[in-house]
């Protein structure tokens, strides 16, 4: 049992809300537009998404061990950054970590194949896009995060693709409104990744993991974070103005107070490790509360 607990913790379950929220939002939009909801398909969608997310988290730890990022990271270790530290603390071997990640991906893929069989081939395209971009996010030879596109890929995978896929599982159709509903979560999850790159700056730069904060430099990179936050809440307003989202969704904009707190804190403390922690927490809360607010609004 202790080993199973270790494997569970290695998947970093504290971050599973990042995938649970968009999958639930997709089902909520399907209910709002078509009054369709199949519990079994929803639960399978959640399970597949969680196993995929778990596998990607574990494999990210494995590849960051190989490229040396987490091994030399001493200042950027927080509950949100620095990986699970399972390999560095000698709780798990590198091989064990890789096998765990691969097993999670296989289980997620098996559930995904069943959903493709039951609901349609378009889900296969979504699954393949998520799998390839997620695996090569930190894996060679593509090492996409080191090419400065990691934030974009995370935003697409944990926003648009997850919401659209969940919506399709319920309705067997796609919807422009579902895509617009996904945009706030796309921007916000990208913002969480982005702000977490500030504490990792020195370690990432040392091993040529050239994510956007490394490319821009900490001071200039502050503006990128601000733009992501503005994009999240502007997308809600634009969606309403285009009649793609119901006007009541505007109430979700009020969760932007946490985004404002995160932006203000980052601009003041972008180079101060401990002082940045409340900013990171505020970004996480902005994502969580916005996601919950939109789900509740679409359901009610």
Distances from the Cα of 167 to the Cαs of 123, 250, 289, 296, in angstroms? 10, 21, 21, 16
Percent of the chain exceeding pLDDT 70 equals 95
Q: Where are the alpha helices (DSSP H) in 35-159?
A: 39-66, 69-72, 94-119, 122-135, 150-155
φ, ψ for residue 121, nearest 5 deg = -65, -30
The CATH number of the domain holding residue 286 is: 1.10.600
Are the CB atoms for 233 and 258 separated by under 8 Å?
no
Mean pLDDT over 163-171 rounds to 98
* pLDDT band with cut points at 50, 70 and 90 for residue 73: low
Under the banding of pLDDT at 50, 70 and 90, the label for residue 206 is confident
| Angstrom distance (rounded) from CA 291 to CA 20 | 10
Q: Which of 111-125, 169-183, 263-277 is predicted least confidently?
A: 263-277
Whether 23 shows a pLDDT value over 90: the answer reads: yes
Domain that holds residue 111: 2-299
Q: What is the average pLDDT across 76-97? A: 76
Domains identified in the chain, total number:
1
The pLDDT score that the predictor gives to residue 140 is 86
Tell me what pLDDT residue 24 has.
98
pTM higher than 0.75, yes or no? yes
Mean pLDDT of all residues belonging to the chain: 92
Looking at residue 88, its pLDDT comes to 81
More confident residue, 87 or 23: 23
d(CA 147, CA 206): 15
Does the pLDDT at position 179 exceed 90?
yes
Distance CA 173, CA 161 (A): 13
**Model pLDDT, residue 167:** 98
Does residue 66 or residue 110 have the better pLDDT?
A: 110
d(CA 147, CA 214): 11
- Residue labelled with tokens 């002082």: 275
pLDDT of 67: 77
């Amino acid at each position: 049992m202790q080993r199973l607990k270790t494997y569970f913790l290695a998947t970093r379950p504290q971050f599973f809300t990042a995938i649970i929220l968009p999958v639930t939002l997709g089902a909520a939009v399907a209910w709002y537009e078509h009054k369709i909801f199949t519990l079994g398909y929803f639960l399978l969608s959640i399970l597949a998404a969680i196993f995929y997310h778990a596998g990607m988290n574990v494999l990210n730890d494995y590849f960051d061990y190989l490229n040396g990022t987490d091994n030399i990271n001493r200042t950027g270790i927080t509950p949100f950054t620095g990986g699970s530290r399972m390999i560095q603390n000698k709780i798990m071997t590198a091989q064990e970590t890789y096998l765990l990640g691969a097993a999670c991906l296989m289980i997620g893929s098996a559930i995904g194949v069943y959903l493709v069989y039951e609901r349609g081939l378009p889900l296969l395209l979504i699954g393949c896009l998520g799998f390839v971009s997620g695996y090569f996010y930190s894996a060679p030879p593509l090492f996409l995060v080191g090419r400065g596109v990691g934030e974009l890929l995370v935003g697409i995978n944990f926003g648009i693709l997850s919401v659209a896929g969940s919506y399709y599982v319920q309705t067997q159709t796609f919807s422009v409104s579902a895509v617009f509903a996904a945009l706030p979560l796309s921007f916000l999850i990208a913002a969480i990744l982005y702000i977490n790159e500030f504490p990792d700056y020195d370690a990432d730069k040392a091993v040529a993991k050239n994510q956007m904060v490394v490319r821009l430099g900490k001071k200039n990179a502050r503006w990128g974070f601000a733009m992501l936050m503005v994009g999240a809440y502007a997308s809600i307003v634009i969606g309403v103005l285009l009649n793609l989202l119901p006007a009541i969704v505007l109430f979700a904009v009020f969760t932007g107070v946490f985004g404002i707190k995160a932006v203000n804190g980052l601009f003041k403390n972008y180079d101060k490790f401990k002082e940045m922690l409340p900013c990171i927490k505020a970004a996480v809360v902005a994502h969580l509360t916005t996601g919950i607010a939109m789900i509740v609004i679409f359901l009610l």
